[in-house]
Homo-oligomer: A and B are copies of this chain.
């Protein structure tokens, strides 16, 4: 999905607003496995994914990677807390496919927030939407079995399971890859 269509879909920007806003984004092509932000860095940009998939993850003390979120095309990607509170990121941001993304810096975004009331609204709507998505995941993790959590993820990210490796999905769901593998085996038996 195209950036201005995405923007327009959230808030009814005027053509002039839209043009100005889009002009502050920069197009970037990034390759599979490229890392946009590392742990400890302050995430200075917000990304819109035109094409591709990314994830955020962090490292446990034992070095294990825990996937925190998947970001798919047509959505915003960032290390949210780091970007908005300007604190060091606890996450890595990594692209999992060759991707086309649009980035905007915090300074430019703040400028747009100040310039356009509509842009502020866009920011508000975006974060409430993200909030409800995160809360959905929270519900899945709080009191559901491994299989129910997997079902939640199929709803939230319908096509992700064919695009990224099983280990990433397993850690996203708070389970081991062995467990996820066994869940899938049982599913395929039934069908």
Binding site for B on A (CB under 8 A): 58, 60, 66, 68, 80-81, 84-85, 113, 117, 120-121, 123-124, 127-128, 130-132, 134-135, 137-139, 141-143, 171, 174
Q: Are A68 and B137 also in contact (CB < 8 A) when A120-B117, A120-B120 are?
A: no
A124–B174 alpha-carbon span in the complex (Å): 29
Q: Are A143 and B171 also in contact (CB < 8 A) when A117-B117, A124-B124, A137-B138 are?
A: yes
B138 touching A85 by the CB < 8 A rule?
no
Identity of the chain B residue whose Cβ is nearest the Cβ of A60 in the assembled complex: B143
A53–B66 alpha-carbon span in the complex (Å): 33
Nearest Cβ in chain B — how far from A128, in angstroms? Answer: 5
Chain B CB within 10 Å, residue with most, of A66, A80, A143: A143
B81 touching A135 by the CB < 8 A rule?
yes
Could you pull out 23 A-B pairs where Cβ atoms are within 8 angstroms? A66-B142, A66-B143, A68-B135, A80-B128, A80-B135, A81-B131, A113-B121, A113-B124, A117-B117, A120-B120, A120-B121, A120-B124, A123-B124, A124-B127, A127-B127, A130-B131, A131-B131, A131-B134, A134-B134, A134-B138, A137-B138, A138-B138, A141-B141
A81–B80 alpha-carbon span in the complex (Å): 19
Nearest Cβ in chain B — how far from A88, in angstroms? Answer: 13
B134 touching A127 by the CB < 8 A rule?
no
A104–B128 alpha-carbon span in the complex (Å): 18
Q: Are A138 and B141 also in contact (CB < 8 A) when A80-B132, A128-B127 are?
A: yes
Nearest Cβ in chain B — how far from A147, in angstroms? Answer: 15
